[in-house]
A and B are shown apart, each in its own frame.
Chain A
Amino acid sequence: MQSRWLGRDIISIRDLSRDDIESVLLEAKEIRPNPDALRGKVVASLFFEPSTRTQLSFGSAVERLGGQVIGFSSGDVSSKAKGETLSDTIGVVKGYADAIVIRHPKEGSARLAADVADVPVINAGDGANQHPTQTLLDLYSIEKYIGRLDGLSIGMVGDLRYGRTVHSLATALTRFKKIKLRLISPPILKFPASHLDELRGLVEFHEQEELDLRGLDVVYVTRIQKERFPDIEEYEKVKGAYVLRAKSVEEQLSAKSIILHPLPRVDEIHTEVDSLPQAKYFEQAEGGIPVRMAILKLLLLGESK
């Protein structure tokens, strides 16, 4: 049987079917560190912009499977500073590695890399566009703590306009049944209308400004990102718009519900929430390791027999 995964790229959540998502999550659930799995395999980690967390997580995943990592971690030291095109850089690196992990400030860069490379390319963030392994680890946490991905009520809170993680998660949720989304944001940070059109008919959604958590299985909180605002005054108006406090969590959320956050957080979840049973954002970040191990294994070795 031909492998569905061997040699494939992971560029966008749009490329993944329900089956694809479920097989990554299943693999992630079962995978254990194994120094022989990727022995002799080299993964190039090309970080054209810094992202310590994602880079360390990929690095750790490769090492736990016995593979080796080469690469760089900032655009300044790379070939870009010498004026080389991304196409040329990838054209060279594909000869040095069995897979490429790329993070780049321009949207579409990862797709370009995948078009050029004949080895698997994993997108670790292309500007404001996609970061599919983040979404997969979000889904991994939801399934782990809630026990299912169908029939969920999910509240997305904060910056729904510029927040890449919520767009991507919403797209992924269209693959599942009976999803209800409560989109909670200030009016100027509403979910983009064009993206809502894509969700229409596939998930039920409701937009509101009020932070009301009642009936939600999952609360997905995002940071209002200063760097995304073209106008700093606009940022000043909405920063700190939502602060999740222990009192409202205890009053409004069931003990089985969970709170997620892609991290880093600023003040949108008060530290007093950290000790509540619903707070799962630190565990969520840990899920990045098995999910990335699973992806590397699938792309480089294929699915388990």
Chain B
Amino acid sequence: MSEDLKVSKIKRGTVIDHIPAGMAPTVLRILGISDGASNVVVVAMNVKSSKLGQKDIVKVENQILDEQKFQKISIIAPQAIINIIDNYQVVEKRGVSCPHELEGILKCPNRNCITADRLEKMLTYFVCEKEEPLILRCHYCETSVAADRAEIL
């Protein structure tokens, strides 16, 4: 944990640990953090990890994840641990798990899928096909996609 100490603690918010190295920017995008954000955001990339070799960590002050963001992070960082922080203490620790159904979370990689039809204006829907490694299948066109290659909406 010595690497963790290089970055400051947050008072209240969320710490997402064990993100695969290099995926922190994607996590920031999922959290909706852009240039205009005013809350404290701490990002550590490529720190040593006994579990992953190298990992990223994202700390965000004053933000608690909603279910949709939680699901999106489950897909790109299946080993992530989400810590809810209050008054500098971890009050809740939650591992992510493969969601069995994902509505409007992923883009179907098949360009000829009915969900990609602009006229139809429908939400995508993916079902978990296999857990390790995580494979998801489009409910409509049946295209399967490895989670680490999935495009998050």
Please report A residues at the B interface, Cβ cutoff 8 Å: 12, 14, 83, 85-87, 104-109, 111-112, 126-130, 194
Contact = CB atoms under 8 A, between A and B. Distances in A.
Contacts, number: 54
A112 B119 contact: no
B39 interface: no
A12 B138 CA distance: 13
Given A107-B143, A194-B144, A127 B112 contact: yes
A15 B80 CA distance: 33
Q: Range of interface residues on chain B? A: 10 to 19
B142 A112 contact: no
A87 B120 contact: yes
10 contacts: A105-B112, A106-B112, A107-B110, A108-B113, A109-B114, A111-B140, A111-B141, A112-B120, A126-B141, A128-B112
Contacts of A109: 114, 140
Nearest to B144: A194
Which of the listed residues A85, A108, A112, A126 has the most CB atoms from chain B within 10 Å of its own CB?
A108
Contacts of A130: 142
A36 B144 CA distance: 43
Q: Is the interface of B mostly helix, strand, loop or mixed?
A: loop
A129 B141 contact: yes
B117 interface: yes
Interface string B47-88: 000000000000000000000000000000000000000000
Interface in B98-153: 108, 110, 112-115, 117, 119-122, 138-144
Given A108-B138, A130-B142, A86 B112 contact: no
Given A106-B113, A106-B114, A86 B139 contact: no
Interface of B: 108, 110, 112-115, 117, 119-122, 138-144
Given A86-B117, A107-B113, 6 more contacts: A12-B142, A106-B113, A106-B117, A108-B114, A108-B141, A127-B141
B144 A108 contact: no
Contacts of A107: 110, 112-114, 140-143
A98 to B, nearest CB: 24
Contacts of A85: 119-121
Given A12-B142, A129-B142, A112 B112 contact: no
Contacts of A105: 112
A107 B117 CA distance: 10
A130 B141 CA distance: 9
Contact of A112 (B108, B114, B143): B114
B112 A83 contact: no
Nearest to A14: B142
Nearest to B142: A129
B103 to A, nearest CB: 12
Contact of B142 (A83, A87, A106, A108): A108
Contacts of B141: 106-108, 111, 126-127, 129
A14 B117 CA distance: 24
Q: Name the residue in A87, A106, A107, A126 with the highest tally of chain B Cβ atoms < 10 Å from its Cβ.
A: A107
A245 to B, nearest CB: 36
A130 B113 CA distance: 12
A111 B110 CA distance: 15
A245 B138 CA distance: 41
Contacts of B112: 105-107, 127-128
A86 B114 contact: yes
A106 B142 CA distance: 12
A126 B110 CA distance: 13
Nearest to B129: A198
* 8 nearest A-B pairs in the assembled complex, by CB-CB distance: A108-B140, A107-B141, A108-B141, A108-B114, A106-B114, A109-B114, A111-B140, A108-B113
A271 B23 CA distance: 58
A87 B144 CA distance: 24
A85 B112 CA distance: 15
A192 to B, nearest CB: 10
A252 B38 CA distance: 75
A112 B141 CA distance: 9
